[in-house]
């Protein structure tokens, strides 16, 4: 009788542990941050291209100031309210949220201070940015146990290596493809997944 | 304590699905119906019944809100529910030989 009780208790505890282990890595974010930042950076790139065509490159930096500024306004207003609708273990949400804030801050400093001081060659600014961006995806993928997100990080890093060796139109095409394929599309996937958690019950 | 005393078992948690719901919510924090369903692999009807029982026992709190203009129920463990799960786990652990030399 005691052996049976012990076995039952162990099975129940294993069951509880397996459910908790699976659940504590869940993160359901609506992905709008990914989409908004992706679109803003694409717009900045497009505006830079237009300015370049009209030989107004002295204003290129301001397009990024505008778009990154809009991005931060979005982050500190709408995105904070939206965060209430994220689901998942509170600690995981805090860790992932902190990683993204740290990465975005790092990119903002590298972009503006690094670019304005001349410490970072503007031709290779995207390569530097994408290297940092890859870190956030990689960490999010590892922490939440989603290998496809981890692989996005690897793809960002792979793309950034190429961007360190090319400039001009090929680099612009690759930057656009990466921003769409590795940022906006994953954001849409996150959004679609998030919506499934809020179907009417 | 060495024998399995059914009077000490919390019937509300002891059901497999309700135990899974409680464990999932303990790890997830607040969660929607669909997320709980995905985590424990229950059917809609079955899960609804068990959630209602846990709610009636005040182990769960349901927060009705609107997201994208759609009504959504968000479930979370109450303090009573957390305490009940803790007590249940401690009871199970006490049945293990490591924690119960007499057993």
Domain ranges of chain A: 25-186
Q: Which residues of A touch B35 (CB under 8 A)?
A: 26, 28, 87, 197
Which CATH number describes the domain made up of B10-99?
Answer: 1.10.10.10
What is the predicted pLDDT for the residue at B6? Answer: 57
* Chain B residue at shortest CA distance from A5: B4
Say what the pTM is.
Answer: 0.84
Tens-digit pLDDT profile for residues B58-99: 999 999 888 777 788 899 999 999 999 999 999 888 888 776
Distances (CA, A) of A49 to A36, B36, B39: 20, 47, 47
Confidence of residue A86 (pLDDT cuts 50, 70, 90): confident
Yes or no, beta carbons of A197 and B32 under 8 Å apart: yes
pLDDT at A146 over 90: yes
Task: Identify the band that residue B56 occupies on the pLDDT scale cut at 50, 70 and 90.
Answer: very high
Predicted interface score ipTM higher than 0.95: no
Angle (nearest 5°) at CA A113 between A69 and A127:
85
User: Nearest residue of B to residue A3 by CA position?
Assistant: B103
Distance, in angstroms, between A190 CA and closest chain B CA? 14
The two tokens of residue B45 are 């009807």
Say which residues have a Cβ less than 8 Å from residue A83's Cβ, sequence separation at least 6.
A93, A97
Q: Which two tokens mark B51? A: 């959630």
The whole-angstrom separation of Cα B43 and Cα B37 is 7
Bridge partners for B74 per DSSP: B32, B63
Contact call for A5 and B71, based on CB within 8 A: no
The whole-number average pLDDT for the span A72-100 is 84
For residue A89, give the nearest of B3, B28, B95 by CB distance.
Answer: B28
What is the residue extent of each domain of chain B? Answer: 10-99
Residue A80 has pLDDT above 80, yes or no: no
DSSP A94-116: HHHHHHHHHHHHHHHHIIIIIHH
With a CB cutoff of 8 Å and minimum separation 6, the contacts of A92 are A24, A25, A26, A27, A143, A144
């Amino acid at each position: 009788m005691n052996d049976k009780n012990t076995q039952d208790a162990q099975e129940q505890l294993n069951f509880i542990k397996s459910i908790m282990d699976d659940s504590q890595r869940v993160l359901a974010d609506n992905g709008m941050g990914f989409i908004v930042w992706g679109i803003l950076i694409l717009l900045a790139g497009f505006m830079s291209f237009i300015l370049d065509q009209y030989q107004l490159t002295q204003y290129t930096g301001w397009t990024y100031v505008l778009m990154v500024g809009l991005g931060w306004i979005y982050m500190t207003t709408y995105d904070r309210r939206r965060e209430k609708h994220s689901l998942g273990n509170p600690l995981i949400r805090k860790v992932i949220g902190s990683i993204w804030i740290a990465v975005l801050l790092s990119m903002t400093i590298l972009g503006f201070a690094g670019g304005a001081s001349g410490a970072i060659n503007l031709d290779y600014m995207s390569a530097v940015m994408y290297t940092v961006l890859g870190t956030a995806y990689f960490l999010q993928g590892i922490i939440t146990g989603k290998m496809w997100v981890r692989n996005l990080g690897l793809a960002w890093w792979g793309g950034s290596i190429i961007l360190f060796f090319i400039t001009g139109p090929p680099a612009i095409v690759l930057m656009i493809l990466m921003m769409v394929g590795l940022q906006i599309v994953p954001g849409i996937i996150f959004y679609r997944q998030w919506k499934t958690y809020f179907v009417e019950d | 304590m060495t024998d399995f005393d059914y009077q000490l078992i919390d019937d509300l948690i002891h059901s497999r699905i309700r135990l899974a719901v409680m464990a999932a919510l303990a790890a997830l924090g607040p969660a929607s119906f669909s997320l709980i369903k995905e985590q424990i692999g229950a059917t809609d009807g079955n899960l609804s019944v068990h959630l209602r029982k846990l709610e009636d026992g005040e182990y769960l709190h349901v927060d009705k809100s609107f997201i994208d203009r759609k009504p959504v129920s968000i479930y979370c463990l109450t303090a009573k529910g957390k305490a009940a799960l803790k007590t249940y786990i401690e009871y199970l652990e006490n049945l293990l030989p490591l924690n119960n030399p007499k057993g």
